[in-house]
């Protein structure tokens, strides 16, 4: 299935039903008075988060969505039936914008979360509402109001705990396939990965995290070169970035140091905030180095980089060092989640505290 992370649709809420002018007419009852009922409210349009969806591909063909109109009122003071709301299921991580104003309407991040994107019209009023001591036989009513109509631009950002960065052929797809159940295409040529892949890494029975494999980024990506920059936005929601580098590139003239600098430069150009995310250096393909020289070559790279963060030496293909890496990631992810819970509790207590 092709990965689609942007879509434009048109949504229209239902119109409110009109109120009516009606008078009571029954045998033996003269001048029965007004009994025109109100109309029903129009249906609204909601986006609903669905954990089972991972792409916006369904909206490539279905682009127009309309909720049901409210029914008009009836005699005997009967209210018209309200229009049914329309629920559109979208993957988690979907950001919604008004295509005309570019205003962000909302962000769907939880399963079964409901986001109203078009409010249904308000019901019309029947003539019974206009009855008064001075107006015993009102002949006026109000029509229902139209529902909101909007053109929406939806943009999906992958929700993952860990994002993988690196040049093409750094071994990102191999790593995600070796530590999770995901099976991305793996081949010895650039741009094997054409769309993000998600994998669930389970370190034991009750502990797991989600990792996202992002297409490789090349120099000049900020100007549109290559594929990776259009997906770099997906890693902006991760808790941790793993920067993979091929320590044994096929071309002996290629310097792993330069490969790292290229990614760093493109990250800064894309988003300075993203460049300051927690990032661990993962030196991959150490199995291709002579065993007696591995530590020295890797340590030399770290020293030249002046890298201050965590460093891991692995071979994704042979799974050497991957188990330790996964456990360290799991510990970090749980620590970050715990911090979020503590911060939320502190904020809640602060809101409930009495003010003098």
Same domain, 168 and 28: no
Cβ atoms within 10 Å, residue 194: 13
Most confident of the following: 18-22, 130-134, 136-140: 18-22
Has residue 86 been placed in a domain?
A: yes
Has residue 1 been placed in a domain?
A: no
- Specify the pLDDT at position 224: 47
Q: How far is CA 88 from CA 11, 100, 326, in A?
A: 10, 21, 36
CATH number, domain at 28?
2.70.210.12
- Specify the pLDDT at position 267: 78
Same domain, 180 and 323: yes
CATH number, domain at 168?
3.40.50.300
Last residue of a domain, one of 127, 156, 185: 156
Same domain, 79 and 181: no
Same domain, 192 and 324: yes
- Each residue's pLDDT tens digit, 105-126: 999 988 899 999 999 999 999 9
Same domain, 43 and 113: yes
Torsion angle in degrees (nearest 10) through CA of 260, 173, 192, 158 = -90
Same domain, 335 and 282: yes
Contacts of 264 (CB under 8 A, 6+ apart): 275
- Each residue's pLDDT tens digit, 75-113: 989 999 999 999 999 988 899 999 999 999 999 988 899
| Backbone torsion region of residue 31, taken as left when φ is above 0, otherwise alpha when ψ lies between -120 and 50, otherwise beta | left
- Structural tokens at position 6: 């942007």
Has residue 352 been placed in a domain?
A: no
Q: For the CA atoms of the chain, what is the radius of gyration?
A: 29
Has residue 349 been placed in a domain?
A: no
Last residue of a domain, one of 156, 183, 200: 156
Q: How far is CA 227 from CA 43, 193, 215, 256, 288, in A?
A: 41, 9, 6, 21, 27
- Specify the pLDDT at position 177: 85
Computed over every residue of the chain, the mean pLDDT equals 83
Has residue 268 been placed in a domain?
A: yes
Q: What are phi and psi of 65, to 5 degrees?
A: -135, 130
Q: How far is CA 182 from CA 1, 177, 179, 205, 312, in A?
A: 14, 5, 8, 18, 22
The model's confidence at residue 223, banded by pLDDT at 50, 70 and 90, is very low
The model's confidence at residue 311, banded by pLDDT at 50, 70 and 90, is very high
Last residue of a domain, one of 156, 189, 207: 156
Is this prediction's pTM over 0.85?
no
- Specify the pLDDT at position 348: 59
- Specify the pLDDT at position 58: 81
- Each residue's pLDDT tens digit, 323-355: 999 999 999 988 887 886 676 555 555 666 565
**Higher pLDDT residue, 233 or 37?**
37
| Number of structural domains the chain divides into | 2
- Specify the pLDDT at position 30: 73
For residues 248-277, average pLDDT = 83
Portion of the chain with pLDDT greater than 70, in percent:
82
For residues 262-285, average pLDDT = 84
Q: What is the distance between the alpha carbons of residues 193 and 174, in angstroms, rounded to a whole number?
A: 11
Cβ atoms within 10 Å, residue 21: 18
For residues 120-147, average pLDDT = 93
- Each residue's pLDDT tens digit, 40-57: 999 999 999 987 776 787
The model's confidence at residue 221, banded by pLDDT at 50, 70 and 90, is very low
- Each residue's pLDDT tens digit, 148-161: 999 999 988 766 78
Same domain, 110 and 217: no
Same domain, 73 and 180: no
Q: Three-state secondary structure along the chain?
A: CCCCCEEEEEEECCCCCCCCCCECCECCECCCCECCCCCCCCCCEEEEEECCCCCCHHHHCCCEEECCCCCCCECCCECCCCCCCEEEEEECCEEEEECCCCCEEEEECCCCCEEEEECCCCCCECHHHHCCCCCCCCCCCECCCCCCEEEEEEEECCCCCEEEECCCCCCHHHHHHHHCCCCCCCCCCCCCCCCCEEEEEEEECCEEEEEEECCCCCCCHHHCCCCHHHCHHHHHHCCEEEEEEECCCCCCCCCHHHHHHHHHHHHHHHCHHHHCCCEEEEEECHHHCCHHHHHHHHHHHHHHHCCCCCEEECECCCCECHHHHHHHHHHHHHHHHHHHHHHHHHHHHHHHCCCC
Same domain, 292 and 257: yes
What's the domain range around 312?
A: 162-343
């Amino acid at each position: 299935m092709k990965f689609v992370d942007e879509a434009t649709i048109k949504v229209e809420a239902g119109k409110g039903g009109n109120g009516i002018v009606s008078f009571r007419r029954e045998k033996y009852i003269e001048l029965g008075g007004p009994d025109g009922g109100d109309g029903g409210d129009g249906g609204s349009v909601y986006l609903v988060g669905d954990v089972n969806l991972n792409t916006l591909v369904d909206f490539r063909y279905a682009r127009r969505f309309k909720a049901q109109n409210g029914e008009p009122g009836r005699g005997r003071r009967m209210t018209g039936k309200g229009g049914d709301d329309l629920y559109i299921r979208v993957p988690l991580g979907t950001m919604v914008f008004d295509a005309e104003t570019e205003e962000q309407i909302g962000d769907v991040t939880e399963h079964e979360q409901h986001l109203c994107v078009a409010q249904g019209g308000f019901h019309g009023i029947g003539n019974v509402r206009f009855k008064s001591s001075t107006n015993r036989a009102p002949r006026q009513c109000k029509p229902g109001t139209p529902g909101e109509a909007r053109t929406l631009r939806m943009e999906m950002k992958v929700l993952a705990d860990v994002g993988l960065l690196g040049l093409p052929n750094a071994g990102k797809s191999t790593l995600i396939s070796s530590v999770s159940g995901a099976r991305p295409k793996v081949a010895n040529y650039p741009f094997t990965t054409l769309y993000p892949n998600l994998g669930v890494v389970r370190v034991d029975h009750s502990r797991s995290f989600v990792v996202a494999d992002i297409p490789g980024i090349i120099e000049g990506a900020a100007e549109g070169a290559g594929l990776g920059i259009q997906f770099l936005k997906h890693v902006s929601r991760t808790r941790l970035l793993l920067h993979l580098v091929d320590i044994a590139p096929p071309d002996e003239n290629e310097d792993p140091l330069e490969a790292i600098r290229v990614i760093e430069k493109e990250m800064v150009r894309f988003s300075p905030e993203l460049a300051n995310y927690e990032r661990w250096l993962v030196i991959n393909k150490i199995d291709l180095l002579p065993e007696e020289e591995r530590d020295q070559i890797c340590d030399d790279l770290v020293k030249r980089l002046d890298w201050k963060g965590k460093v891991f030496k692995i071979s994704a293909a042979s799974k050497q060092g991957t188990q330790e890496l996964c456990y360290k990631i799991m510990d970090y992810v749980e620590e970050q989640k715990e911090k979020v819970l503590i911060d939320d509790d502190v904020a809640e207590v602060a809101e409930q505290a009495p003010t003098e």
